[in-house]
Chain A
Amino acid sequence: EVQLLESGGGLLQPGGSLRLSCAAAESTFSSFVMNWVRQTPGKGLEWISSITTSGATTSYADSVKGRFTISRDNSKNTLYLQMNSLRTEDTAVYYCASRGAPFEDWGQGTLVTVSS
């Protein structure tokens, strides 16, 4: 089991930017595909993005394409999600998840609230 810990969530206004981090507790991080998933009361669980082990290939849901960027630093065992041009509908708990699909290990989530 991979231990994952997200951080970086918070409250911000529409149009703002935020970077989320997900730290893995083991060095095998570099061998795992990594993912971001978010959850809202209204829309439930939504896959956002995935990144290959080297970081060379990324994929995004249409809802965030062009606004969010996934990246990783294998030397720091850390996954990132840069979120720009945030909208109120981006309000959610954001989870990182390892491997997959399916997603075997999940962090505890970090809350992002976008509100004026």
Chain B
Amino acid sequence: EIVLTQSPATLSVSPGERVTLSCRASQSVPTNLAWYQQKPGQAPRLLIYGASTRATGIPARFSGSGSGTEFTLTISSLQSEDFAVYYCQQYNNWPSSLTFGGGTKVEIK
């Protein structure tokens, strides 16, 4: 099973700051990686797929990069509605297997 490790576990930031979240895969997944945002009491929301392609309706302040085993989600200027938990997901061998990272919580500083 491919293990995804996200860091940091929690990030305390102020609105307007630039935020960088990391996701590391235990083995290469080329660009078969997605990012999701989840707010309390809600389902996850797809932000990025293919490591760097924004999903429909996602603001341009969200961007993804990386390939192989190292990936990054960047929020260029954090808005109040962006405080949430962010998960990465690899789907390199889907539908045989698919895994999520443990999440990074972005909280107000």
Chain A residues proximal to chain B, CB less than 8 Å: 33, 44-47, 50, 57, 59, 61, 95, 100-104, 106-109
**Among residues 56 to 93 in chain B, which have CB atoms less than 8 Å away from a CB atom of chain A?**
87, 89, 91
Q: How far is the CB of A26 from chain B (nearest CB, A)?
A: 16
Chain B residues proximal to chain A, CB less than 8 Å: 32, 34, 42-46, 49, 55, 87, 89, 91, 94-103
Which secondary structure dominates chain A's binding surface?
A: loop
- Quick one: closest B residue to A4, CB to CB? B43
Contacts of B100 in A (CB 8 A): 44-47
B97, A102: Cβ atoms under 8 Å?
Answer: no
Known: A106-B44, A107-B43. A101 touches B103 (CB 8 A): no
Q: How far is the CB of B89 from chain A (nearest CB, A)?
A: 6
Query: Given the complex of chains A and B, what is the CA–CA distance between A45 and B34 in angstroms?
Result: 13
Contacts of B55 in A (CB 8 A): 104
Contacts of B43 in A (CB 8 A): 95, 106-109
A59, B46: Cβ atoms under 8 Å?
Answer: no
Contacts of A47 in B (CB 8 A): 97-100
Query: Given the complex of chains A and B, what is the CA–CA distance between A38 and B35 in angstroms?
Result: 17
Contacts of A45 in B (CB 8 A): 44, 87, 89, 100, 103
Known: A44-B102, A61-B97, A108-B43. A101 touches B87 (CB 8 A): no
Partner of B103, one of A44, A46, A102, A108: A44
